[in-house]
Amino acid sequence: MKNIQKEKKNKITVEEKDNYFKFVTTLAILLLAFVLTYFLIGLFYTKEIDFNKKDDKKEEVTIDNDTIMLSQLLEQSNENYYVLIYDVSDKTSSIDSWLSVYKSKSEALNVYKVDSNKKFNAKYLSDESNPNPTGLSDLKVKAPTLIKVSNKAIAEYIEGEEAITNVFKNN
């Protein structure tokens, strides 16, 4: 009889241990499924989780009000100003240094720059220029060129690096 009671106690403890093990296993599987679902949603759906994320260094945004497109040649708010069409990335040109000398003068007009390498300016760039354009429709420019605009009309057309630097030196 003692043996029967011991066997009953052993069966109960084994069953209790089995139930406890099943409970812990089920809980662990549910927890693992929840964590896996969280990571999958964060990785693919919301994209909040990124293991290849580098330090996001935010660059300060600067707005250059002096650079325009050639199609905006006659649209500036000033009454008199210059528009300089040249290759901005050309470091061998002396235009930039003479431009800064000109801008330092108190009576200097505004100078708007147009980058001749930009695709949206290509419509107006040509190997043969039109030094007497009446407007944008017949404007053909060969870089480098300096155009003086007065009262929304082209007043002066200066072509070539040497002629442009002379304007900046003498004005």
40-75 confidence digits (pLDDT tens):
898 888 878 777 766 667 778 877 788 899 999 999
Angle formed at CA 76 by CA 73 and CA 79, multiple of 5 degrees: 110
Looking up tokens 């147009």 gives: 114
The DSSP string of 50-106 is: -TTPPP-PPPPP---TTB--GGGTT--SSSEEEEEEE-TT-SS-SHHHHHHHHHTST
At the fourth CATH level, the homologous superfamily of domain 70-170 is Glutaredoxin (3.40.30.10)
From 106, 70, 81, select the one nearest 156 (Cα to Cα): 81
Q: What is the pLDDT of residue 12?
A: 63
Per residue in 108-160, pLDDT tens? Answer: 999 999 999 999 999 999 989 888 888 888 899 998 999 999 999 999 999 99
Q: Give SS3 for 6.
A: helix
Instruction: Break the chain into its structural domains and give their ranges.
Output: 1-55, 70-170
